[in-house]
């Protein structure tokens, strides 16, 4: 498949044909949110699969059954992907979903419901590095080219789900009040039990310290990397080639320092700063 055929544009966003379609986006628009639904929203490579592990555990008091028996994409499906239509009727309440949608693409039923959102942010330099390797191993995405070429594409928004700055701007401007919680990938790496306490309290789950520690253990990078229901080893190599780069690649913060030249850092920082000029929120990382 040529690079152009692998992606298509919808709502101004580049999307992969393998997982998304006009019908899947329509299905997402018609999706009926329930008040006790939870959706983890991320720009790609910010910790989506991590939340697909965390949410069922937090919502079900640490019961390991879902993460050991259901593949992550069916356990906590993407709102916008084709697979949701197949599994929607099997999702037990309280339902957990993930989404890469910018805020304005959330379906009408989301605004009228009381469904909660956990927005996970990650330092854009690190997520760009992660995305670069992901484009190498995910055969349904365009070849990233060189790291320098990929940086240009990323800054121009010619990548999965468009510009990172547009995504973050859209979700920091909502009027969702206490329905939305912001957390960073960096917080989760630094102190996962503390992040889990915040998440469980936001979701109204009063979990004992013992359960928090158990969830933290099962959501560690090492444990998730060996969970075949989460590490994409069930996906045929023609779609995801773990020999080219493992989905669970490094799971660290600051890997951008091993990849960016000083010229690339200056270019990246100048574009991001310019695009966020005048915004009322401040980023949790120095840029």
Residue 100 catalytic?
yes
Residues between 129 and 158 with contacts to ligand A3P, criterion CB under 6 A: 130, 133
User: Of 106 and 141, which has the nearer Cβ to ligand A3P?
Assistant: 141
Sign of CA dihedral 48, 53, 56, 62: negative
Based on CB atoms, which residue is closest to ligand A3P, 82 or 250?
250
Could you say whether residue 48 binds ligand A3P (CB under 6 A)? yes
Closest CB to ligand A3P among 47 and 77? 47
Residue closer to ligand A3P, measured from CB, 59 or 216: 216
Q: How far is the CB of 63 from ligand A3P (least distance, A)?
A: 19
Site for ligand A3P in 182-221 (CB under 6 A): 189, 219-221
Q: Which of 20, 24, 42, 58 binds ligand A3P (CB under 6 A)?
A: 42
- Interface stretch with ligand A3P, choices 25-33, 146-154, 208-216, 250-258 (CB under 6 A): 250-258
Q: Could you say which of 20, 100, 167, 218 is catalytic?
A: 100
Asked if residues 143 and 65 have their Cβ atoms less than 8 Å apart, the reply is: no
The Cα 54–Cα 11 span in angstroms is: 30
* Residue of the chain from 6, 20, 45, 163 that contacts ligand A3P (CB under 6 A): 45
Nearer to ligand A3P among residue 28 and residue 215 (C-beta): 215
| Contact pick of 169, 197, 244, 249 for ligand A3P (by CB under 6 A) | 249
Is 44 a binding residue for ligand A3P by CB under 6 A? The answer is: yes
Interaction between residue 31 and ligand A3P (CB under 6 A):
no
Mind spelling out the 3-state secondary structure of the chain? CCHHHHEEEECCEEEECCCCCHHHHHHHHHCCCCCCCEEEEECCCCCHHHHHHHHHHHHCCCCCHHHHHCCHHHHCCECCCCHHHHHHHHCCCCCEEEECCCHHHCCHHHHHCCCEEEEEECCHHHHHHHHHHHHHHECCCCCCCCHHHHHHHHHHCCCCCCCHHHHHHHHHCCCCHHHEEEEEHHHHHHCHHHHHHHHHHHCCCCCCHHHHHHHHHHCCHHHHHCCCCCCCCCCCCCCECCCCCCCCCCCCCCHHHHCCCHHHHHHHHHHHHHHCCCCCCCCCCCC
Stretch that binds ligand A3P, among 43-51, 56-64, 144-152, 264-272 (CB under 6 A): 43-51
Identity of the residue, 36 or 241, whose beta carbon is nearer to ligand A3P in the bound complex: 241
Binding test (CB under 6 A) with ligand A3P, winner from 27, 150, 248, 268: 248
Round to whole Å and give the CA distance between 164 and 124. Answer: 7
Q: Which residues bind ligand A3P (CB under 6 A)?
A: 42, 44-50, 130, 133, 189, 219-221, 224, 248-251, 255
Active site residues: 100
């Amino acid at each position: 498949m040529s690079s152009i055929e692998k992606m298509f544009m919808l709502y101004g966003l580049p999307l992969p044909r393998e997982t998304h379609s006009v019908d899947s986006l329509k299905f997402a628009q018609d999706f009926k949110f329930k008040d006790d639904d939870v959706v983890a929203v991320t720009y790609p490579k910010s910790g989506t699969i991590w939340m697909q592990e965390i949410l069922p555990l937090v919502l079900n008091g640490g019961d390991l059954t879902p993460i050991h028996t259901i593949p992550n994409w069916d356990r906590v499906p993407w709102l916008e992907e084709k697979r949701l239509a197949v599994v929607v009727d099997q999702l037990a309440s309280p339902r957990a979903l993930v989404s890469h949608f910018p805020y304005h693409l959330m379906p009408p039923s989301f605004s009228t419901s009381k469904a909660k959102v956990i927005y996970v942010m990650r330092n854009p330099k690190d997520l760009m590095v992660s995305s670069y390797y992901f484009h190498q191993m995910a055969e349904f995405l365009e070849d990233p080219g060189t790291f320098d070429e990929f940086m240009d594409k990323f800054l121009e928004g010619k990548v999965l789900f468009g510009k990172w700055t547009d995504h973050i701007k859209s979700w920091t401007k909502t009027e969702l009040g206490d329905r939305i919680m912001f957390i960073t990938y960096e917080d989760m790496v630094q102190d996962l039990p503390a992040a889990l306490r915040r998440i469980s309290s936001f979701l109204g789950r009063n979990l004992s310290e013992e359960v928090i520690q158990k969830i933290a253990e099962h959501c560690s990078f090492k444990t998730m990397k060996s969970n075949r229901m989460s590490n994409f080893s069930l996906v045929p190599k023609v779609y995801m080639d773990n020999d080219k780069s493992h989905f669970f690649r490094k799971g660290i913060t600051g890997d951008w320092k091993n990849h960016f030249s000083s010229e690339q850092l200056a270019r990246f920082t100048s574009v991001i700063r310019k695009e966020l000029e005048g915004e009322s929120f401040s980023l949790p990382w120095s840029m």
